[in-house]
Amino acid sequence: MVCQREYPELESVPCASFEDVFAAVEGAPGMEPIADLAMIPIDNSLAGRVADIHHFLPTSGLHIVAEHFLRIRFHLMALPGVSLEQIRTVHSHVHALGQCRRIIREHGLVPVISGDTAGAAREIAEAGDPTMAAISPPMAAEIYGLDVLAEDVEDEDHNTTRFVVLSRDFVRAPAGNGPVVTSFVFNVRNLPAALYKALGGFATNGVNMTKLESYMVGGKFTATQFLAEVDGHPDEPGLKRALEELAFFTTDILLLGVYPASPDRTVGEL
């Protein structure tokens, strides 16, 4: 849906997994890339960060060149003629199930994890079991010939997913041409107050940090990598000084992208 909305002139190439999406653009061993750009979900306003993406990004060799937001709508759907009272299990992606806990709890349904939301609808259509339902986007009911039992079943009406677009080329947004987001990863030195000192430069230089997430790397409890996003361009004096100060307290810094901020960044304005 986001690909069609934002890049209608491009052909969408479906992939079975996030790993396959990265491989399609960067190329797998012995294989040439088959796509120019990748569109992946990275955050959801209800479920938080999308698993695995943060591990792929630093080592992929790809760069963030754009971001897009999509208001997520989910419908509960089942085989034609089936009533809500017949349903016993509900199938969907783990994040979708987490975003629709209310209807699952109210009807005593057993959640079953599927690979993705649209795929869950396909599973229901192929299984032919009247006790199975799917939580999927509205378009999936049309594609797979299912009946919608309940519309907009997500727990909150601000349910929004943020997608980033990845490219092999590092295309930096120009400075002074509207709001810009800078994304980067870094490892702090294993010293007391290292993170505190590393982030101090952003505060003293008036740089707004919109994301800071940590995750373990290499299976070591003492090796923590951070993904950060800030408002601003690295060529702007404040952010330039903050990144220079960050370098004093980190083992490495990897710039993932410098890209235009989406006008839909504020969820309340969607």
Measured from the Cβ of residue 181, the count of other Cβ atoms closer than 10 Å reads 23
Same domain membership, residue 13 and residue 116: no
Instruction: Report the CATH number at residue 82.
Output: 3.40.190.10
Q: Which residue has the higher pLDDT, 152 or 158?
A: 152
Tell me what pLDDT residue 7 has.
95
Q: Of the residues 143, 171, 199, which one is the last residue of a structural domain?
A: 171
Residue 163 annotated to the active site: yes
Query: Domain containing 191 — which CATH number?
Result: 3.30.70.260
In a domain, residue 48? The reply is yes
Both tokens assigned to 120: 């869950």
Query: CA-CA distance, 160 to 141, in Å (whole number)?
Result: 20
**Residue 145: per-residue pLDDT:** 97
Mean pLDDT of 159-188: 93
| 62 and 14 in a common domain | yes
Token pair 């740089």 in the structure block, residue: 207
Q: Both ends of the chain: CA-CA distance in Å?
A: 16
pLDDT band for position 132 (cuts 50, 70, 90): very high
Structure tokens at 207: 């740089």
Scan for tokens 């330039």, then name that residue: 240
> Are both 88 and 107 inside the same structural domain?
yes
State residue 270's pLDDT score. 44
Residue range 197-243, pLDDT digits in tens: 989 999 999 999 999 988 877 766 666 789 999 999 999 999 999 99
Residue at 223 is within a domain: yes
Q: Which residues partner with 67 through β-bridges? A: 164
Torsion of CA 143, 156, 86, 108, to 10 degrees: 140
Residue 129, domain member (yes or no): yes
Which residue among 74, 163, 226, 249 is the active-site one?
Answer: 163
Tell me which of 158, 190, 222 is where a domain ends.
Answer: 158
Q: Which residues pair with 64 in a beta bridge?
A: 166
Q: Tell me: do 128 and 82 sit in the same domain.
A: yes
pLDDT of residue 207: 97
Which residue has 């192929």 as its token pair?
126
Q: How far apart are CA 120 and CA 203, in angstroms?
A: 45
Please report the sign of the dihedral spanned by the C-alpha atoms of residue 173, residue 174, residue 177, residue 178.
positive
Whether 47 and 164 map to the same domain: the answer is yes
Q: How far apart are CA 27 and CA 29, in angstroms?
A: 7
- Of 158, 186, 206, the last residue of a domain is 158
Specify whether 93 is located in the same domain as 50.
Answer: no
| Same domain? 180 vs 252 | yes
Assigned domain for 139 exists: yes
Which domain range does residue 101 map to? 75-158
CA–CA distance, 44 with 158 (Å, rounded to integer)? 10
* Statement to judge: residues 182 and 254 lie in one domain: yes
The Cα 134–Cα 74 span in angstroms is: 9
- Contact (CB, 8 A) for 135 and 76: yes
Say if residue 266's pLDDT is above 80. Answer: no
Selecting among 161, 202, 226, 250, the annotated active-site residue is: 161
Residue with tokens 């080592």: 59
Cα separation, 19 vs 16, whole angstroms: 8
Is residue 81 situated within a structural domain? Answer: yes
Q: What is the pLDDT of residues 25-83, one digit of tens each?
A: 998 777 789 999 999 999 888 777 876 777 788 888 899 999 999 998 999 999 999 99
- Residue 69: Cβ-neighbour burial (10 angstroms; 0-12, 13-18, 19+): buried
Element containing residue 106 per DSSP (H, E): helix 101-106
Does one domain contain both 61 and 125? no
182 & 125 share domain: no
Residue 42 lies in a domain: yes
Q: What is the pLDDT of residues 87-116, one digit of tens each?
A: 999 999 998 998 899 999 999 999 999 988
Task: Please state the domain count of the chain.
Answer: 3
